[in-house]
A and B are shown apart, each in its own frame.
Chain A
Amino acid sequence: MNGQEIRLCHPMLLCLCLVWAAIQPLASFAQDSQISTFPALQAEQEVLSIHAATDRPAMEPLIRDFQTLNPNTRVEFVEYVTNDLFAAASKACQDGRALGDVLLSSGVDQLVKLTNDGCAHSVNLPETETVPRWANWRDEVFGFTFEPVVFVYNRAKVPVEDVPTTHLEIADLLRLKPETYQGRVGTYDIRQSGIGYLLAFNDSQQTTTTYGRLLESLGRAQAVVRCCTGEILDEIEAGRLLIGYNMLASYAYARIRAGANLGLVVPADYTLVLSRGAMIPAAASNATAGARFISYLLSNRGQTLAQREAFFFGFAGEAPAGLEGAASIVRTGIARPIAISPALLAVQDDERRRRFIADWSRSLVDMAKR
């Protein structure tokens, strides 16, 4: 809703909105974190506290399966938005406390930053060795999913010939058919969403010219920005938006499986691949259970279940049926995994983010205003 307001706003109102957007994460510290509890299947002996910037429905089958292996563990699942989780975890680490026993976040740059600051606990279990090198830093942050970043569109409303298959095509489409797509394309608001910022940053690193054209086209087309994938997908499903840019394939595919009339395009020029990160805070009170959970996520059993129920893709690039665009992105070399490495510290640099977001806002939000 934030984005819509901005789009319609008057300059004064815009300023107010920006202020609100700035204070909103602080305010949401308490309210936005929703706690769910999964009681132990048998007599409770320990509590595993998971603080996650990941949808509970996606994680639920994994948590339940983990509990069948650890029937005496009660699992607490606290849900955040990526930036809030990072802020809370950073603060806890500075104060020498721990935020839960396991942190899950799609904002892997934030987890890398936490690890760099010495806020992580290392895990050395056999399962962690099967993780690809790019998805493991210092045995402290692990990527446990393989999620291509895709275009999503409403099948009913977007004609087949309009469906873009590359980043350049989406830019051209918005430029050539402004009347159809004006205000009907959605993407992350990178000011609010850590994952949105990470994806946009990586887009800019891929091909600067394409990124520039794309940003310009999005701005011209008065793209709608939202905090979360869910909101954009809701609107595409409802037909208010036609195309979603930089959506996580897992969420979109879950909706398609649930019957939504959505199309999903794996870009054929390059496909960013996000690996959701997991780490254990340095001061975790139940680090052993945390390590068990992480190794469960990385184990064959956890990976198979995740591929079937939650995230739908595997590290080898296996994709479920019903995808459009590039097939087998790993084999053809289209995949651009976002490596979990200290290089992500550049993404997390305050000055660089400030400038990147400023440029982005200038192109996207200020353009929209005109």
Chain B
Amino acid sequence: MAHREPSLFTRLIVLISLVLMAGAAALTTAAWYYAREAANDAYDRLLVGAAYQMAEALNVQGGTLTVELPVSAFELLANSERDRIFYKIVEPGGRTLTGYADLVTPENDAPAMGSPDVRDGRFKGVDVRVTKVGRSFSDPSVQGRVDVVVAQTTEARTALARELTLRAVALIIVMSALALGGAVFAIRYALRPIGRVGAVLRDRDPHDVTLITVSTPRELRPFVSAANAFIARLKNRMDLMQQFIADAAHQIRTPLTALKAQLQLLSRQPMDPQALQYLTRVQERVDQLSHLAGQLLSHAMVNHRAGAVPLEPVDVAEVVRRAIREAVPETLDRDVLISLELPPVPVTIAGDAISLKEAVKNVIDNAVRHGAPSQLTLRVCQKLHTVDIEVKDDGPGIPPELWSQVTERFSAHSPGGSGLGLSIAANVLAACSGSLSFRHEDGNGFVVIMSLPNETGPKA
């Protein structure tokens, strides 16, 4: 056997998990990116605001540029509690008026009308965001642009970005968990028809060759069609086989009848006792063979009818009466008292009258052949859910340890019999959902019970 294939469920879950993980990773990256953008954006506004406030505080007094840096500008920046603040104010000549002279002035100029550019930088060995706001003076003593450069470390930005990302990640995890849970549920739901088809196939009777009719999703139809095609082929073969057996039995019966007639004629000829004895034995064997051929025919017929003939209302009492008439041979070597007990009202079930008659015939035949020294009682009784046909004889019956085997074809425990009788009865009963059972009665007596489902229930 090749290595075990992983189950569909495992395959789907693994694939879906991989997709979800890849998606989660991509979303987390995107979340981090956007969170950083948002955090930068939020704090950059404060940074630019502070730079504007500082630029606003610039003025020219007595011919010199001076600045009274507003506390509020620093308080604005102190909104990010842990961040350090660096700034410098550069005069038009390039001299640093105040602040950190070694802070690098960002190169490019922001578009004149747009808001100032904020960019990443490094100062004193830490990451900073830097902005520059220019203010032009056209005072006689101070001419040109004064640059206000403000930088701030990025702790608050990073903390905000991290918090936003963590929240997004929490959402992503929840969504992924929901998706995975939903997938588990959906896959189980989607795969359920497979189990159903499997169960239908598993629970089928071995002799059932009807097509599978369970409704399935489109994806499973090829599978069911293939199974049905296979069943159809099998049924075809079985039919052919039954047909062959029936034909063979029928063909055998004709020469056997002729043979029996010839033996009858032969027995009337005078012959020595030894020869007569042989002749009698030959007659017995021919009878047996004839009976076997009849049973084979019966068996083939019953099997053919099972599942092929629609069930109809059947009067059980009538069936039993006919069966007695056909089964009890006119010439019997002993006197057997046959009695029939029927319920006061007619009992009707749904079934195939011919098959049922064959079944009862075979049970009676079996009882007459092997049991019943003197008495045979047939009884039809209506139970709550079943209609039972009981065939009771006063013979020794079948020992209980053999009950399970006697319904098999050609079982070895029927000396002198074909071993087909009870098998035929069992087949008929199985075909109409009934059952065959046995009972030893107190004193002497052995009962074969044929239970048929009482589909209509006891009539009120």
Contacts and interface: CB of A to CB of B under 8 A. Distances in A.
Interface of A: 115-118, 137-138, 205, 341-347, 349-352, 355
A342 B74 contact: yes
A345 B86 CA distance: 9
Given A343-B75, A346-B69, A351-B98, A118 B82 contact: no
A349 B69 contact: yes
Contact of B66 (A118, A346, A351): A351
A351 B67 contact: yes
Given A116-B85, A342-B83, A352-B98, A205 B74 contact: no
Contact of B125 (A118, A342, A346): A118
A345 B98 contact: no
Given A341-B78, A342-B78, A355-B66, A349 B98 contact: yes
Nearest to A201: B71
Contact of B67 (A117, A344, A352): A352
Contacts of B245: none
Interface of A is mostly: helix
Interface of B: 66-71, 73-75, 77-78, 81-86, 89, 97-99, 124-126
B98 A116 contact: no
A346 B70 contact: yes
A344 B74 CA distance: 8
Given A350-B98, A351-B66, 19 more contacts: A115-B84, A116-B86, A117-B124, A118-B84, A118-B125, A137-B81, A138-B84, A341-B81, A342-B78, A342-B83, A342-B85, A343-B75, A344-B74, A347-B71, A349-B98, A349-B99, A351-B67, A351-B97, A355-B68
Given A118-B126, A349-B98, A342 B77 contact: yes
Contacts of A117: 124
B71 A346 contact: yes
B173 to A, nearest CB: 30
A345 B85 contact: yes
User: Which 9 residue pairs across A and B have the least CB separation, nearest first?
Assistant: A351-B98, A343-B74, A346-B71, A342-B78, A343-B75, A349-B69, A116-B84, A346-B74, A138-B82
A197 to B, nearest CB: 14
Contact of A345 (B68, B74, B89, B97): B74
A165 B424 CA distance: 124
10 contacts: A342-B77, A343-B71, A344-B74, A346-B73, A349-B69, A351-B67, A351-B68, A351-B89, A352-B67, A352-B69
Contacts of B98: 349-352
A368 to B, nearest CB: 23
Contacts of A137: 81-82
Contacts of A346: 69-71, 73-74
Nearest to B61: A355
Contacts of B66: 351, 355
Nearest to B73: A346
Given A116-B84, A118-B125, A342-B84, A351 B78 contact: no
Contacts of B75: 341, 343
A118 B78 contact: no
B450 to A, nearest CB: 91
Nearest to A116: B84
B396 to A, nearest CB: 98
Nearest to B89: A351
A312 B74 CA distance: 32
A351 B98 CA distance: 6
A345 B70 CA distance: 10
A346 B125 CA distance: 23
B58 to A, nearest CB: 10
Contacts of A115: 84
A178 to B, nearest CB: 31
A116 B86 CA distance: 8
A259 to B, nearest CB: 41
Contacts of A116: 84-86
Contacts of A118: 84, 124-126
A352 B89 CA distance: 12
Contacts of A350: 98-99
A351 B101 CA distance: 13
Interface centre among B78, B84, B124 (most CB of A within 10 A): B84
B36 to A, nearest CB: 22
A43 B32 CA distance: 54
A137 B86 CA distance: 16
A205 B99 CA distance: 21
Nearest to A122: B82
Contacts of A343: 71, 74-75, 78
Interface centre among B74, B81, B99, B126 (most CB of A within 10 A): B74
A347 B77 CA distance: 15
Nearest to B86: A116
A146 to B, nearest CB: 21
A341 B81 CA distance: 8
A351 B84 contact: no
A118 to B, nearest CB: 5
B459 to A, nearest CB: 90
A350 B88 CA distance: 11
A350 B98 CA distance: 6
A364 B73 CA distance: 29
Contact of B69 (A205, A342, A351): A351
Interface centre among A205, A344, A346, A355 (most CB of B within 10 A): A346
Contacts of A351: 66-69, 89, 97-98
A106 to B, nearest CB: 19
